[in-house]
């Protein structure tokens, strides 16, 4: 059975479920940050800035 990417249900999943899943993942990542993570960036910002501007 091939996947029909133009089916209305598939479009609703892409429009609604994927952004919600991304929001939940980003909240989880953000909540796992600790003060030590921010101190590490403040101590050596070069790596952070390099990744920020290169990617």
Residue 34's pLDDT is 96
By CB atoms closer than 10 A (0-12, 13-18, 19+), residue 17 is exposed
Residue 12's pLDDT is 84
User: For residue 54, what are its two tokens?
Assistant: 């290169």
Q: Going residue by residue through the chain (55 aa), what tens digit of pLDDT does each one get? A: 566 667 888 888 889 999 999 999 999 999 999 999 999 999 999 988 998 888 6
pTM for the structure as a whole: 0.59
Domain-by-domain residue ranges, the chain?
30-55
Residue 45's pLDDT is 92
């Amino acid at each position: 059975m091939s996947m029909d990417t133009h089916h209305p249900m598939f479009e609703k999943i892409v429009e609604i479920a994927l952004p919600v899943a991304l929001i939940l993942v980003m909240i989880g990542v953000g909540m796992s940050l600790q003060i030590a993570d921010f101190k590490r960036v403040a101590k050596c910002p070069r790596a952070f800035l390099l990744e920020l501007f290169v990617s």
